[in-house]
């Protein structure tokens, strides 16, 4: 960030500095070893049960958990001031790529970790080790539809499946789904999207159902709309649908053509506890520990063996279940980091017409 900024960012920088100071004070008060920062919430509770406690028990390393909202600025402030009090952080993929680009994270030494061949491919990156998989799927309300849709082609088929459809307001996810609906195989979506003709093709496909789309922005909206009958089918985060299913709603997920992405562990550049951080990542990547995490919350493990250790009903809800992975596509974060702004601008202009 440059020096000439919005006053708001000065304020937030002040807040960040203040919280860094308090974090530093807390750190000096309790002589801890490894500080692990996650996004907290239900996922944080699952991590506590699956990773933090067992890791401390089995290795004797002291661990201080914490949570944050994924702000790269806080990590940047720590690295810049040389006052690194967080050692291991949970990162979403776009921030991981940006932070890696700016040198905020230690590059992962995969030789040392020795997990390269064991984890799913997209868990292996320069600066981060994948920890769980979440997915954007096609979901529908089985009560409202006579026949079950099975693909994005069906999503575009307004004659056989009449009614409103929900999509996330934005180019990301939407363009991928449009291309898949137009018959592009999952594996080729990003190759097509990287060309101007491919982008035109995706928007032309979106034109077909423009009037039938109800755009969502918050992850809570799709399941709510499905339950309320506002839309007959929608794209949605799989965890939200699972939660609505648990409440007794008759919602179904189509895994074919789902887009998945990972959250990662990244080691903050300049951490004093790199060795412990590697130990923790290794521990958290073991199938038995991943299985414990996934049984607490319906996010998929990155170690394929972990699926086998879950109960069948649970395993089937995971994006990483073998059956669910068929026809699924990993979000190409590097593509979106580069072309995101251009495509979102085009999307905004298209949607506003």
Partner 1 sequence: MSSTSADGGAASPPEASLKSRLRRAERLRKVKAIGLVAPLALFLIVVFVVPIGNMLTSSIDNGSLPEVMPETAATLKQWDGEGLPDEAAFASFAEELRGSRRGGGLGSVGRRLNYEDPEYRGLLMRTMMGLPQASDDWQQALIEIDPAWGETETWRGIQNAAPPYTGRYLLASLDLERGADGDVQRVDQQDRLYQAVFQRTMVIAGGVTLICLALGFPLAYLLATLPAKTSNLLMILVLLPFWTSLLVRTAAWIILLQSNGLANQSLMALGIIESPLQLVFNRIGVFFAMVHILLPFMVLPLYSVMKGISPSYQRAAVSLGAHPFAAFWQVYVPQTVSGVAAGTILVFIMALGYYITPALVGGPADQMVSYYVAYYTNTTNNWGMAASLGSILLVVTLLLYLVYHRLVNRKQMIRS
The stretch near partner 1 (CB under 8 A) out of 6-14, 41-49, 62-70, 148-156 is 6-14
143 binds partner 1 (CB under 8 A): no
Q: Which of 98, 158, 279, 304 binds partner 1 (CB under 8 A)?
A: 98
Residue with smaller CB distance to partner 1, 124 or 315: 124
45 binds partner 1 (CB under 8 A): no
Counting residues that bind partner 1 (by CB under 8 A) gives: 39
197 binds partner 1 (CB under 8 A): no
Nearest to 229 by CA among 251, 208, 254, 258: 251
287 binds partner 1 (CB under 8 A): no
346 binds partner 1 (CB under 8 A): yes
Residue with smaller CB distance to partner 1, 60 or 82: 82
337 binds partner 1 (CB under 8 A): yes
14 binds partner 1 (CB under 8 A): no
Residue pair 21/15 in contact by the 8 Å Cβ criterion: no
Q: What are 58's two structure tokens?
A: 């089995």
102 binds partner 1 (CB under 8 A): yes
Distance CA 258, CA 34 (A): 36
13 binds partner 1 (CB under 8 A): no
326 binds partner 1 (CB under 8 A): no
Minimum CB separation from partner 1 for residue 201, in Å?
Answer: 13
The residue whose two tokens read 């040392």 is 112
191 binds partner 1 (CB under 8 A): no
Q: Which of 230, 252, 282, 296 binds partner 1 (CB under 8 A)?
A: 230
Which of the residues 59 through 88 are near partner 1 (CB under 8 A)? 76, 80
Minimum CB separation from partner 1 for residue 220, in Å?
Answer: 11
Minimum CB separation from partner 1 for residue 215, in Å?
Answer: 6
Tell me the per-residue interface mask from 155 to 184 with partner 1, x by CB under 8 A, - otherwise.
---------x----x---------------
List phi, psi (to 5°) of 221. Answer: -70, -45
53 binds partner 1 (CB under 8 A): no
The stretch near partner 1 (CB under 8 A) out of 33-41, 180-188, 292-300, 336-344 is 336-344
The residue whose two tokens read 């074919």 is 256
22 binds partner 1 (CB under 8 A): no
Minimum CB separation from partner 1 for residue 224, in Å?
Answer: 9
By CB under 8 A, name the binding residues for partner 1: 1-8, 76, 80, 98, 101-103, 164, 169, 203, 214-215, 217, 228-230, 334, 337-342, 344-346, 348-353
């Amino acid at each position: 960030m440059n020096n000439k900024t919005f006053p708001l960012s000065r304020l937030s920088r002040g807040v960040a500095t203040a919280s860094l100071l308090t974090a530093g004070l807390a750190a000096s008060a309790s002589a801890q070893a490894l500080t692990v920062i996650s996004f907290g919430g239900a996922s944080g509770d699952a991590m506590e049960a699956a990773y933090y406690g067992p890791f401390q028990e089995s290795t004797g390393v002291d661990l201080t958990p914490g949570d944050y909202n994924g702000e790269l600025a806080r990590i940047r402030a720590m690295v810049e001031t040389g006052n690194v009090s967080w050692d291991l952080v949970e990162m979403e993929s776009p921030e991981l790529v940006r932070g890696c680009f700016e040198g905020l994270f230690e590059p992962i030494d995969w030789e040392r970790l020795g997990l390269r061949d064991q984890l799913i491919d997209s868990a292996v990156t320069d600066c981060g080790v994948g920890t769980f998989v979440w997915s954007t799927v096609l979901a529908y309300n089985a009560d409202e539809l006579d026949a079950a849709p099975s693909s994005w082609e069906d999503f575009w088929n307004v004659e056989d499946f009449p009614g409103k459809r929900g999509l996330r307001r934005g180019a990301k996810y939407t363009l991928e789904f449009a291309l898949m609906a137009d018959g592009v195989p999952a594996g080729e979506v990003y190759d097509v999207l990287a060309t101007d003709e491919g982008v035109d093709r995706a928007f032309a496909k979106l034109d077909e159902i423009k009037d039938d789309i109800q755009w969502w922005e918050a992850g809570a909206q799709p399941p709510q709309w499905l339950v309320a009958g506002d839309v007959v089918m929608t794209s949605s985060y799989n965890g939200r649908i699972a939660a609505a299913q648990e409440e007794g709603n008759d919602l179904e997920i189509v895994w074919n053509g789902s887009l998945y992405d990972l959250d990662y562990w990244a080691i903050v550049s300049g951490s004093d506890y790199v060795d412990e951080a590697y130990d923790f990542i290794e521990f958290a990547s073991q199938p038995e520990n991943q299985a414990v995490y996934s049984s607490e919350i319906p996010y998929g493990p990155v170690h394929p063996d972990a699926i086998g250790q879950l109960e069948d009903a649970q395993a089937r809800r995971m994006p990483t279940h073998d059956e669910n992975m068929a026809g699924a596509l990993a979000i190409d974060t590097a593509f979106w980091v580069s072309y995101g702004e251009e495509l979102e601008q085009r999307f905004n202009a298209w949607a506003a017409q």
